[in-house]
Amino acid sequence: MNSKLERWELQLKGAGKTPYSRFADGLAVLRSSIREYLCSEAMHFLGIPTTRALCLVTTGKFVTRDMFYDGNPKDEPGAVVCRVSQSFLRFGSFQIHASRGGEDLGIVRSLADYAIRHHFPHIENMSKSESLSFSTGDNDQSVVDLTSNKYAAWTVEIAERTASLVARWQGVGFTHGVLNTDNMSILGLTIDYGPFGFLDAFDPSYTPNVTDLPGRRYCFANQPDIGLWNIAQFASTLMTANLISDQEANYAMERYGAKFMDDYQAILSQKLGLQKYNKQLVNKLLSNLAVDKVDYTNFFRALSNIKADPSVPGDELLVPLKAVLLDIGKERKEAWTSWVQSYIQELVASGISDEERKASMNSVNPKYVLRNYLCQSAIDAAEMGDFEEVRRLLKVMERPYDEQPRMEKYARLPPAWAYRPGVCMLSCSS
């Protein structure tokens, strides 16, 4: 409990077995610990809800790990990360007890009561006067009254927080890699940084997790649906414990879908510098990005240089984007020119000055994200005893929306070596 009466939990990741360990040794290697440390902080400074990293220490011992689960283990330096969150409760924390049934169903209720009391006190204190009643759309008599069941109100809030989180991931091109119920926070935080990755070339099917192939269940494009799947599992858990009804569970899932679309469309509009969402414009843009494998982060940063001037000659329209539209032929140039012309029409209609729009766009389109190859460069040096690159990279990621002119190299496209296994594709190995 801090001076603001906020509850914070400290958790050591990699410190060894605990009374609650399921299997394995509970240890972690320096490689995965640096990734967790850097990415949790990078996400915080991007403005995305996340657990935080307080410190990282090496243990001076080696840990044996099989990074790709291919029968080739090796010894790696050990490390421990101290991570911080107001709660580390996950969907799986409830699901495990519901799956056991019997007396364990009472634990689901007790755990839910604890979570609501300490982390959702506004739900504990809500009253009938708040009129939180909603039609489910099934028929005129199907109404969900959230004030009569705190567990239903709680489930809806968790669904909406999760939807908002996933929308923000999509906005910055973050792919978590392992979205099972044990990696979903009830507070709507990004938690457990394993085989994550930020998009380089835009590829909706991108997954950074080597064990996610070939099905790509957790790929970038699937994250919104996987988020909904997790909400369905969580709601089913609470139904098993008789805390919510089928109608209330369905309503929570409806709210997830509505909240995700609202937030995602708002984020895409902000990234484009538009006051309202233009579905056709966005869909065509995403299609173009995928066809030409354009760098996601660098494209949106460069887009702010487009002027709202319909008189710009056609052969000059793509000049502000020349650094990101690489090696495209005549046909693709025509496709992009057509899109930019439509985009400029939207900009003109908005009536916002170029300077104001550029500042607004650059405040939501980061120049720097924690690309996997940057992480790997820092890890390689750290494994040799030099942590200077880890510190330098952290400093850059603390100001992702600033130009930082002397740090331009951290915004570069991945070099050829970055596409080898262990850099662009990782596993859950810790």
What does the pLDDT look like over 243-274, one tens digit per residue?
999 999 999 999 999 999 999 999 999 999 99
| pLDDT(321) > 60 | yes
pLDDT tens readout for residues 139-191: 545 667 888 899 999 999 999 999 999 999 999 999 999 999 999 999 999 99
pLDDT at 68 over 90: no
What's residue 145's pLDDT?
80
Residue among 412, 389, 250, 408 at smallest CA distance from 324: 412
Nearest by Cα to 199 from 183, 224, 216, 220: 220
CA distance 412 to 238: 46
Q: Position of tokens 């930019």? A: 340
Q: What is the pLDDT of residue 426?
A: 81
Say if residue 12's pLDDT is above 90.
yes
Q: Is the pLDDT of residue 56 over 60?
A: yes
Q: Determine whether 182 is an active site residue.
A: yes
How, if at all, do strands 174-175 and 9-13 pair?
A: unpaired
Query: What single letter denotes the amino acid at residue 328?
Result: I
What is the gyration radius of the CA atoms in the chain, in angstroms? Answer: 23
How much is the pLDDT for 139? Answer: 54
Residue 138 has pLDDT above 80, yes or no: no
Average pLDDT, the chain: 94
Kindly tell me if the per-residue pLDDT of 69 is higher than 80: no
- Maximum alpha-carbon separation in the chain: 73
Positive or negative: CA dihedral 20, 22, 26, 31: negative
The count of other CB atoms within 10 Å of the CB of residue 418 is 16
Tokens 């509850």 -> residue: 7
3-state secondary structure of 143: strand
Q: 414 or 47: which carries more pLDDT confidence?
A: 47
CB 88 within 8 A of CB 50: no
Q: Is the pLDDT of residue 425 over 80?
A: no
Task: Please name which of 53, 50, 61 lies closest in space to residue 15, comparing C-alpha atoms.
Answer: 61
Residue 90 makes CB contacts below 8 A (sequence gap 6+) with 181, 182, 183, 184, 185, 186, 191
Which residue in the block uniquely carries the two structure tokens 């495990």? Answer: 96
Q: Is residue 125's pLDDT more than 90?
A: no
Q: What is the pTM of this model?
A: 0.95
Q: What number is the average pLDDT over the span 30-55?
A: 98
In whole angstroms, give the CA distance from residue 373 to residue 430: 18
Say yes or no to pLDDT of 310 above 70: yes
Give the model's confidence band at 107: pLDDT under 50 very low, under 70 low, under 90 confident, else very high. very high
Q: Which of 24-28, 44-48, 193-197 has the lowest mean pLDDT?
A: 24-28
pLDDT at residue 134 greater than cutoff 70: no
Q: What is the mean predicted confidence (pLDDT) over 377-399?
A: 98
Percent of the chain at pLDDT above 70? 95
pLDDT for 24: 74
Q: What per-residue confidence (pLDDT) applies to 201?
A: 96
CA angle 83, 85, 88 (to 5 degrees): 95
Burial class (CB in 10 A: 0-12, 13-18, 19+), 54: middle
Catalytic residue among 182, 203, 225, 262: 182
